[in-house]
Amino acid sequence: MTAGATPEGTTERQAPLRGSFLYGVVAVALAAGLPFLPFANDYIIAVAVRMLIFIALGQAWNIVAGIGGLLSLGHGVFLGLGCYAAGILFNEYAVPPWLGIWAGGVLSVAVALVMGAMTLRMRGVFFALATIAVSLALDQLARHYVDLTGGDNGLALRFLGNSLWFMQSRTPTPFLYAGLTFVIAYYWITQWVLRTRLGSEMKAVRDDEAAAAAAGVAVFRTKLLGLLLSAVMTSFAGTLYMQSYQAIDPETAFGLSQAIQLQLPALIGGLGTSWGPIIGGTIMILLSESTNWGSTKLGIAGVDILVYGLLLLAVVMYAPKGIMGLFDRRTRGAWRP
Amino acid sequence: MTAIALEVTHIAKQFGGLVALRDVSFRVREGEVMGLIGPNGAGKSTLFEIVSGNLTPSSGRVAFFGRDCTGDPAHLRRRAGLCRTFQKVRLFESMTVAENIAVSARQCVKPGLDWRVEVDAILRRLRLEPQADRMPAEITLADRKKVEIGRAVAGFCRVLMLDESLSGLTHEEAEEMIGEILALNHDTGITVIVVEHVLSVLAAMVKRLVVLNNATVIADGTPNEIAHDPVVIAAYLGTKASVLR
């Protein structure tokens, strides 16, 4: 009776996945082989690292907003917690980031639990507003506790030289592989979420909360789980951000422009899809670097921000489901293979 | 003797100064097909939301197979087998027909059973197999309503509450839908509660009607009894009483 049924009901099914695997292998090979290419230098590798970090951050945001439908406008909160927790523990107590990353994760879970418990039972914009409120509060805290966080000037990591144990390197190449590991892991997590019962619940809640409850979905629990997962993922990627850039300041961690940059990969590439943030993040960073280069040549500051704005406008107007949305019909498989 | 599937006792609901329900009580026996009728504003939708767990009553009690479920949230009632559809069809628009049904099958299927088997069985029963991979926006209203019923009963269902599932359908589509609902009731023993405006349709479907008017129950009986009830005729049916006779 069901011999032919696919194992999971998701928007991304078996046949497209085979194609995805091939694209994935090519993309990973390109990224991993970058340092060995003749034209590669530290600048190009650093751009690739930035790209991978923002793809990972976009993948994390995509879990809560793309799959779960919760508009987290202040997701920099969790990026900042990941950065500051690992940075402070390292600078003050010489705790290696391998442990600091977990501290950031635990802090992020705690903050997400409080935010979620306060807002996720309500409908409407309360959650989105709460994320902005918490990011503003943490911004002020980070500026206030100067001894711990460096205040307005930010927190710079003590540099101890090349060290795997302290996740430090004079060259960006190790972070290329760390970033690639994050992106692969987060892609796998996204796929896992989309294929499991949790993903089915999150999509149902995203589409219609009352209908989801009428289908037996525990709406509050589902939203909270999505938020917690996304918060931890963002925080972990935040620690990688900290180790790669060696510094963080309140504006970079909790500012609005950073929060927007976290959202752009998924928005451009396609919300709720596993490839969306990868494609969107790649486009975003390539565009950012080109416009940076262009603005330097032209001597006009802020062109990259203008281009981001225009890009977002274009996406909203012409591809509201992102680039992956343009291929939606093709990527949708069959209930039975 | 059949069990009491659903028992609504002295339910009242107020929204500020507005009395939406006042001392509403009735029982539905297991396996019964019951109709709930009343004019607009009578309190049918409020009662529906209270029974399904989306609204908390100001006072009163809802019992499901003898167990007080007044404080249970909607998803726990659904998992216990108290299922519903919506007045305006509410499907998961980003999911295919099969995926819509799969959501509740995954939540509610009995331990040890495969939810995929359940999805296929529902698709087959409701003759939705050709539509399984289609998106809700690509199918007819009649099929959308069928998908919603399929999603409502998937996994585990003991009482199915249908909120105007026939509205907007052509006569033929309504006839087919009635056939599907009665077959569900006959084959699986699911208790059915139908909220409907189309009285002629209800007369063909149910053996018992509860009439709500002005926030309270004004009559409870067979369609023929209701059709001859002077209170109901005066308050609601008027010349429409003939369709129930």
CATH 3.40.50.300 fits B4-81+158-244, yes or no: yes
Instruction: Please name the member of A2, A10, A215 whose beta carbon is closest to the beta carbon of B107.
Output: A215
pLDDT on residue B40:
83
- With CA atoms as reference, report the closest residue to A52 among A242, A245, A181, A233: A181
Beta strands B159-163 and B191-195: pairing type?
A: parallel
- Banded pLDDT at B244 (limits 50, 70, 90): low
Percent of the residues in chain B that have a pLDDT greater than 90, as a whole number = 72
Token pair recorded at residue A163 = 């060290």
DSSP A261-289: HHHHHHHHH-TT-SSHHHHHHHHHHHHHH
Question: For residue B240, what pLDDT is reported?
Answer: 66
Round to whole Å and give the CA distance between A160 and A125.
Answer: 45
How far apart, in Å, are the Cα atoms of B23 and each of A32, B18, B20, B47, B236?
71, 14, 10, 11, 19
Calpha distance A194→A272 (Å, rounded)? 9
Nearest CA-CA partner of B195 in B43, B64, B21, B15: B43
- Range of weakest confidence among A2-16, A80-94, A154-168: A2-16
B103 interfaces chain A, CB cutoff of 8 Å: yes
**pLDDT, position A300:** 78
- What does the pLDDT read at residue B198? 66
* Binary contact (B103, A10; C-beta < 8 A): no
pLDDT given for residue A333 in this prediction = 40
Q: Where are the domains of chain A?
A: 14-255
pLDDT of residue B242: 64
Question: What pLDDT score was predicted for residue A328?
Answer: 65
Neighbours of A36 (CB within 10 A): 7
Query: Which residues of A are less than 8 Å from B121 in CB distance?
Result: 1
pLDDT attached to residue A314: 84
| pLDDT above 90 coverage of chain A, percent | 64
pLDDT at residue number B245: 63
Residue A257, pLDDT > 70, answer: yes
Dist CA B67 CA B53 (whole Å): 14
Total residue count of chain B as it appears in this document: 245
pLDDT at A332: 47
Q: What is the mean pLDDT of chain B?
A: 91
Average confidence (pLDDT) over A126-139: 91
Average model confidence (pLDDT) across chain A: 87
| Amino acid code (one letter) for B157 | C
Read off the pLDDT band of A317 (50, 70, 90).
confident
Q: How far A92 CA sits from the closest chain B CA (Å)?
A: 48
Domain ranges of chain B: 4-81+158-244, 88-156
Cβ <8 Å between A214 and B84: yes
Helix residue ranges, H only, A169-321: 173-195, 197-207, 209-214, 219-245, 250-254, 256-269, 276-298, 303-318
| All residues at 6 or more sequence positions from B40 whose CB lies less than 8 Å from its CB, including other chains | none
Cβ of A248: how many Cβ atoms within 10 Å? Answer: 26
Q: How confident is the model over A144-154, as pLDDT tens digits?
A: 999 999 999 99
- The predicted pLDDT at position A151 comes to 92
Contact B155 A197 (CB under 8 A): no
The predicted pLDDT at position B61 comes to 96
Please check whether residue B181 is in contact with residue B192, taking contact to mean a CB–CB distance below 8 angstroms: yes
Residues 6+ apart with CB under 8 A from B119: A5, A9, B98, B101, B102, B105, B154
In the numeric block, which tokens belong to residue B177?
Answer: 């839908």
Let me know: does B106 contact A198? Beta carbons within 8 Å: no
Rounded CA-CA distance B123/B140 in Å is: 15
Q: For A273-291, what is the mean pLDDT? A: 90
Mutate to test the interface with B, among A194, A200, A208, A223 (most CBs of B within 10 A): A200
Query: Which pLDDT tens digit goes with each residue over B176-197?
Result: 999 999 999 999 999 999 998 7
Higher pLDDT, B88 or A314: B88
Read off φ and ψ for residue B35, nearest 5 degrees: -105, 145
The dihedral sign for the CA sequence A122, A124, A126, A128: positive
Q: Out of A121-125, A294-298, B88-92, B164-168, give the one with best mean pLDDT.
A: B88-92
The SS3 assignment for B224 reads: helix
Both structure tokens of A181: 């590991």
**Greatest extent of chain B over all pairs of C-alpha atoms, in Å:** 53
Tokens (6 digits) for A336? 């039975």
Distance CA B19, CA B14 (A): 5
Contact A108, A232 (CB under 8 A): yes
Q: Which among B94, B95, B104 has the least Cβ separation from residue A216?
A: B104
Least confident of A128-137, A311-320, A323-332: A323-332
